[in-house]
A and B are shown apart, each in its own frame.
Chain A
């Protein structure tokens, strides 16, 4: 029921399932196995479901480990037996199988999708916006899940255990992390729809170089502005504007960094435009007067649905920044 239903029905199936796992945990008690000191009939009967746990967890957006740690410990103990480890399949393959089954399954199961794409995101994140734009440009159907970064979901912590940050793209159960990595991945898998990176290796290298510049210089300076004040902040703003001017020079007379059409660098850079209003109000200046070409470029990108729908209302971003600075105790 967890992987064949949605909404309240799925939630209730998930709770029921966890309830049953807890009942089993209680029965296991302190024994290493249900069979006592050795694997027994009940262990053999239950352990195969361990290979399906990942599929249940992704479908139902919950974590079995955090609910039933003892049962997970028991499962790992069983997996040390060759009879078990040689038998159980790769949990990721089980999840892909379920997706296929849903597609071919009975009409009451949900609408078939050849690919299942989930994006873990946060509305205000410029990094998340990159992924949103790329998905929209390529017309990829996906489920968008808003994360509360003050209370990260089990799924996020599991899918990006190294950095625990959004965005995370989950494609058929497999995570791809880091925004530029996600955009490149989408471009490679859905390469025939609105290609973002050039096919020529040299031009690709150039695009990657400028996307890296946007990350390490523009976004970095831009981020630091919000956690400083006074002279330090003023100097960071000047650095930030300096980087924007470098980008203007790189853009030259082309409509987009990608040339005639939006490309990888455009997608990497345009999200910061939703933060321009916040910078302007806080710093009491206008980007238009410093980098008119770049502002014109941003407005050109905003004419694309994929961009205008991905970027949040600049007023809301400004409110968010005010709250952030209050929370950090700056002014």
Chain B
């Protein structure tokens, strides 16, 4: 039976990027469908009626939802190609813990940086850098969070690298000077085609944010 894979996604979503990187790392062919989030397709509303969000991976007609869950699913079905999660239970639990940390802290705090001003923005920026430093400490001397190779936590976090420029300009700070090790890690990840083909041009992400702010009536 042919494996039919359709990914409902948007080019700028860090959550969608995770899935694209995982699929590309494993050399899995898929059909990409760009969603207009201001005018969601019937397919998206049918495949994810609960949250109505992307990404949604449709595998032989059956939907898998939530980026972390999709990446784990892809890793389990195509487990012999470029495994992302460790095989041992304890390191797997550690990987899930850190992916959960990225989920809970990075996106929301990052969002505050470009949606607020003044003291609130300053405080969001400091909080954001704090979380990046926590990640740096966890990375330690390893080339990747996954050890010698890209792993689940790397795939979960690296999409935000395409948003760094937008955060930096909005918040008027430099991630490189605060977290040089993390930047080195990000550049190392970008040498993988699965990552460089997936992440959009940071300048385009920044333009997107400016337009989104206008639409949301911020500033």
Q: Which of chain A's residues has its CB closest to B51's CB?
A: A213
B4-12, B91-99, B182-190 - interface stretch: B91-99
Which secondary structure characterizes the binding site on chain B?
Answer: helix
A212 within 8 A of B: yes
Least CB distance from A289 to B in Å reads 24
Cα A171 to Cα B100 in complex, Å, equals: 20
Contact of A185 with B93 at beta-carbon distance under 8 Å, contacts A178-B100, A202-B59 already known? yes
Q: Which of chain B's residues has its CB closest to A163's CB?
A: B101
Cα A316 to Cα B57 in complex, Å, equals: 44
Asked whether B90 lies within 8 Å of A208 as measured between CB atoms, the reply is no
Asked whether A208 lies within 8 Å of B97 as measured between CB atoms, the reply is no
Asked whether B59 lies within 8 Å of A209 as measured between CB atoms, the reply is no
Asked whether B89 lies within 8 Å of A212 as measured between CB atoms, the reply is no
Asked whether B101 lies within 8 Å of A213 as measured between CB atoms, the reply is no
Asked whether A205 lies within 8 Å of B69 as measured between CB atoms, the reply is yes
Asked whether A246 lies within 8 Å of B90 as measured between CB atoms, the reply is no
Contact of A208 with B69 at beta-carbon distance under 8 Å, contacts A181-B97, A201-B77 already known? yes
Asked whether B64 lies within 8 Å of A171 as measured between CB atoms, the reply is no
Asked whether B65 lies within 8 Å of A209 as measured between CB atoms, the reply is yes
Residues of B within 8 A of A189 (CB): 89
Give the size of the chain B interface in residues (CB under 8 angstroms).
21
Asked whether B97 lies within 8 Å of A177 as measured between CB atoms, the reply is yes
Binding site for B on A (CB under 8 A): 162, 171, 174, 176-178, 181-182, 184-185, 188-189, 201-202, 204-205, 208-209, 212-213, 246
B134 within 8 A of A: yes
Cα A201 to Cα B73 in complex, Å, equals: 6
Residues of B within 8 A of A176 (CB): 90, 93, 97
Query: Which of B77, B90, B92 counts the most chain A CB atoms within 10 A?
Result: B90
What are the nearest 3 A-B pairs in CB distance?
A201-B76, A188-B89, A185-B93
Asked whether B50 lies within 8 Å of A202 as measured between CB atoms, the reply is no
Residues of B within 8 A of A171 (CB): 90
Contact of A162 with B134 at beta-carbon distance under 8 Å, contacts A189-B89, A202-B59 already known? yes
Least CB distance from B18 to A in Å reads 15
